[in-house]
Structure 1
Amino acid sequence: MTQLLAILNGILITTMIMMNGELASHIGNYHATVFIHLSGFILITVFMLIQRKKFKNKNEKFPLYLYTGGIIGVLTVVFNNFSTIHLGVTITLGLSLFAQTTTSLIIDHYGLLGSIKHPFNKHKLIGLGCIILGIFAMFI
């Protein structure tokens, strides 16, 4: 089930990037980013109201940097919008996939940000190589 959700997530991300880039080309990158996040806020608020979810405060100690995901989300939308307008969806997603994979390999190898260590091995180079070849093929 989780693999299916990951596939669905990939489909949604591709569709979102295309739609966000198109919106940004019509109303501007920053205005589009505000609307995109406002509509997301409205949707998650509706979900929380339907499920009667309340904000939890467990008084746990955890790193404050975990709250920066929203900042990263805004930057991701702004950068994707700009890239999609100038490069198209395919190249934007190909380069993003390469950067995501490389970053995740580093995080996994060193166990950064509190993650479990998953050491790098030569087999992972095959996947990374395929992504690089795919990006080069798209540029030709």
Structure 2
Amino acid sequence: MQNISAAWLYPIILVAGALQAWGPPMNGVLRNALSNPWLASLVSFLPIVAFLVVLMFCAPRPLPTLEGISGMPWWAPLGGLVGAFAVVAGLMFVDKVGAGAFAGLTITANILMSLIIDKYGWFGTEVHPLGGWRMLGAVLMVSGIALIAKF
């Protein structure tokens, strides 16, 4: 993947982002059908786990080394749990605020937190200064979601 120009990745990333908008409304319907939000969350994750198990066996990669595991930060395996919070939030609240407002709020919060992560280089990321243009983009994101949520 490192040989691929970033320009070729943008369409894939855009499709992935567009598909992310499908998840909360689909999970909201799942929650309503199953009545139990925790069961709905579990059912939502089961196809993901099954898909990843199939990929693991179809495209095997080397197993981790003891050095790799012992050198891993304590928080590294928690990314899935953090993502699960977003799934559960969508599952429980998208029908109350609407798909546009829900997506706008989560994307805006994601962008704002990403700017902080970039500024300080948290989680092993490369530092990207928080300059004027980035701050203007953040203000425009917040302004845009305020309009979407209000109307």
Equivalence for 2:94: 84
Q: How many Å separate the matches in 2 of 1:72 and 1:137?
A: 27
Once the two structures are TM-superposed, the CA of residue 56 in structure 1 deviates from its matched residue by 2.6
- Match runs of 1:4-19 below 5 Å: 4-19=11-26
Relative to the length of structure 1, the TM-score reads: 0.91
What is the identity, as a one-letter code, of the residue corresponding to 1:16? G
CA RMSD of aligned residues (A): 1.5
Q: What is the CA deviation profile of residues 51-87 of structure 1, one whole-angstrom value per residue up to 9, with x for unaligned ones?
A: 2345333522120210111211221111111121211
Counterpart contact for 1:108–1:117, Cα < 8 Å: yes
**What are structure 1's unaligned runs of at least 5 residues?**
none
The partner residue of 2:119 within 109, 125, 130 is 109
Q: 1:98 aligns with which of 105, 108, 119?
A: 108
Deviations 1:26-56 (A, max 9, x none): 2132111101111110111111222234533
How far apart, in 2, do the equivalents of 1:89 and 1:73 lie? 18
Residues 36-51 of structure 1 correspond to what in structure 2 (within 5 A)? 36-51=44-59
Letter in 2 for 1:8: V
Residue 128 of structure 2 is matched in structure 1 by: 118
Runs (5+) with no aligned partner, structure 2: 1-7
